[in-house]
Amino acid sequence: MENLYLLLYSCIHLDLFNASLPSSFFSIDSNTTGSANPMLVSLKDKRVGIVSETGHRDYKTEMIKNLTGRDEIASRNLYSNYIQTFSISTKFIVLTNHIPTFTFNDEALWRRIVVLHFNNKFVNKTNKKPGEKSADPPLRTILEKV
């Protein structure tokens, strides 16, 4: 398990291996061949793609299937005429408080998704419920004590 944490940490903190993607990444329309999409081009040769909070947008099921199915994708950077064709081998990590909704739910979609539940919650209150832990004080408060 320690090796997994080390691998994940190195992938996230070394820009050679990761790509930070906007929260709308899985909500945009599917790639049309040769269209300008710098987000797709940024995934070339990346091992990890990190998407933060999704808001209330539906994820496009066909986009997820295209990106995780190892299909060849053709795209280009903005203002470039050079169309790149490549296979994406990126594993996506979506950091969110709620499981997103999808345009279409089927078994093939859920075979591609692993949900990790973290039951602990960090709160700033004295009457804690089960699974709640005391939150650390703000960094400014900690530094003032030093």
Kindly report, residue by residue over 86-130, the tens digit of the pLDDT.
888 899 988 887 888 899 999 999 999 998 887 777 777 777 787
Q: Which amino acid is at 85?
A: T
The structure tokens listed for 79 are: 């203002």
Which residues are CB-neighbours of 8 under 8 A, at least 6 positions away? 48
pLDDT of residue 14: 62
pLDDT per residue as tens digits for the range 44-92: 888 888 888 777 788 999 889 988 988 888 888 888 888 888 888 899 9
Q: What is the value of pTM for the model shown?
A: 0.69
Question: Using CA atoms, how far apart are residues 73 and 88, in angstroms rounded to an integer?
Answer: 8
**What number is the average pLDDT over the span 19-33?**
75
Count of Cβ atoms closer than 10 Å to residue 68 Cβ = 18
